[in-house]
Chain A
Amino acid sequence: MNWTIVTVFVVLFGTVTILGFAAARWRPGDMDLLHEWGLGGRRFGTIVTWFLLGGDLYTAYTFVAVPALVFGAGAIGFFAVPYTIIVYPFVFMVFPRFWSVAHKHGYMTAADFVRGRYGNRWLALAVAITGLVATMPYIALQLVGLQVVIGAMGVGGQGLWGDLPLIIAFLILAAFTYTSGLRAPAAIAVVKDVLIYATILAVVIVIPSELGGYGKIFAAVAPAKLILAAPTAASLGAYGGYATLALGSALALFLYPHAMTGVLSANSRHVIRRNAAMLPAYSIVLGLLALMGYMALAAGVAKNPLYADGFKQFGSTFAVPALLMASFPDWFTGVAFAAIGIGALVPAAVMSIACANLFTRNIYKEMIRPDCSDADESRMAKIVSLIVKIGALVFIILLPLQYAIQLQLLGGIWIIQTLPAVIFGLYTRWFDPRALLAGWAAGIATGSWMAGTLAFKASVFPLSVFGYTVPGYAALYSLIVNIAVATVMSLILNAAGGERRDETVAADYR
């Protein structure tokens, strides 16, 4: 066990813990009100939102998984970059409308909006359940990021005793999320993001100079993986996968409840628009992070006997911790590991709060106890947030990692199916809610089936079109099926005199 790294890590982690509890008194509000606990009172300005969304969207799992993919698969792993390039124009154009209508009507979740826009509780329930089910494996995966750095520090061992640090970290997280709600991850995100930027700055300067320059780094990559494989006469090949992974992931990202929560906690629609221009700073970090996968190849960490145990236990997700340990003095490695570890806390907190908001507003209050008081609502949410986190912890400790990864893969395919109801709904009421529900079901079925044929190990489905194979992200293909079904059924239902309940008006969106 490396004491220097552990000490630095624990000090930073301890700082963040104190911050998490103290956050309850930041811009104080009545935590017995759900929007205070669950949306920080909708008071966050541009800078806080930038830290919160950045910390929320760029997760610990992102930091280990993206480089791991590039380390193993090469160029196709870089799809995370075009994905972030597509996301922000989309957010800029679409999400101010969502903020405005949510602010006008007090909506706290996407399902609240769908309920108000379409007046159909089943469509709203479908959106709520999709959000919940898609987010839960994602929380579990944050723990994986934390687990990898804890393992890299040599703390703990096998079995439940080995998982003790993880359990402690998570219990701390659960405690300050309970007391401070969204203010906790917002405050902690500042520390996390500062540490991340510091780490990446050091990485892009120090490591290439240690390895002999970027030319040497890329020279270590197998030529076949350096760029994408060109299409052949029989198949569009990697081009199809790369483009559809980027586009599909971009469309899905802000449909996730934790991204919506970040958006809704802002104090004006202009905060969203400004952040769409400012958040790309994190995308540059992500791009450089992806290149760390190649740096790990060039540094030969996989062949280094020091890291053999780590690679055996964690696979290619160990590439980044190994690279950091090999390239930096121990104290800085502690900082970098803390960045990743804390980087698990922020999204895990926001995701659990988002799940709590969804369950409380759109399942508990909507279906079980419509007459519950504000205090009941808030208390239910706090409890749900706790349960969701404990569930994720149990999942990661007891079940093989593969299950969490597979569920997350499916989650990405499912969450995109809420796009027609939510995103189209921001612009038009033309679609019939029953048709949207049918489209949602068709999309979920198609997408899940496609993933099933790939044994849930990959998400790029080789669609055969007149004998030519067009590999594409299953989420995107199933979304097309979803939209097609919703459109056809809407045409029919509208002709038969469709329902037109809608509590919003056009001006609400501006």
Chain B
Amino acid sequence: MGKLTRERGLILAGFVLILAYPWGVSAVGQPFLIGLGTRILVMGLAAASLDLIVGFGGMVSFGHAAFFGIGGYAVGILAFHAHEDTAFLGLIPGTNQALVAWPAAFVLGGLAALAIGALSLRTAGVHFIMITLAFAQMLFFLFVSLKTYGGDDGLSFRPRNLLPGLDTRDETSFYYVVAALLIGFLVLARRLLDARFGMVLRGVRENERRLAALGIPPYGIKLAAFALSGAVAGLAGALMANQVRFVSPELLHWTKSGDLLIMVILGGLGTLYGSVLGAAVLILLETVLAAWTEHWMIVLGPILVALILFARGGLWGVLAGTRRS
């Protein structure tokens, strides 16, 4: 498949922008904006993982924040036990090491998605939306009830998880760690979507019944994609927890799932890179409007409606001159 050169140019521009951003904001004397950039990249990673199942697989999940939150809590709880020098459930010792905590967040996000997906994927359409929302709400209330880990108030920890040879407390270093993970995921996801697995996944969105008639049972493919998506969301949650050194049930709140869906739709369903753009636009709009007025949501709402109405195919589709993948 020959991609349009305009889309290639856009990808390159985005790549350069991500790499140059910390340098740029420092050059204009606003280095505190690096943290904002990190947040955008983390949410971009979570949104891109959601696009994998919503945009490409046609599975509209309204519970993606659950996996994001599980990843965040994995980091938070491990750091809490490392600090207290106790063990989770009296068995698993805590840790501050990113190379342990982040893979744990990835695996736990994936396992949760595997379990929730195994049940939810027996339904479709509106039922699927509602059941994924219901599971996410269950997990939300589970974390609210965990008094040991702060319950409603959440759990703060410090320092950030440690990486060998890197100072993660340095905002620029941490930014580049997140950028590397995001870019790594985008490259892997692009390959995966053009490989055999991706052909079937996109086929599921197009016509699931046709796939079955050809001899391809869609369930396993959908479940694998759902689990992978949850795992990456878990990793994103781990990164977000590290960015703010704080986790709370807010991470799993259903509005978080909604935010992620808005980012995906704003950027363009099934465009992959568009999700990162969507995350950037939504977070920047929120930040700018919140600085301007405390009733920023009243302004944000109409802007989003207008963007979604007038930018069919998403912002990425408009900029790249493509519709869908």
Q: Do A and B bind?
A: no
Give the A-binding residues of B (Cβ under 8 A): none
Give the B-binding residues of A (Cβ under 8 A): none
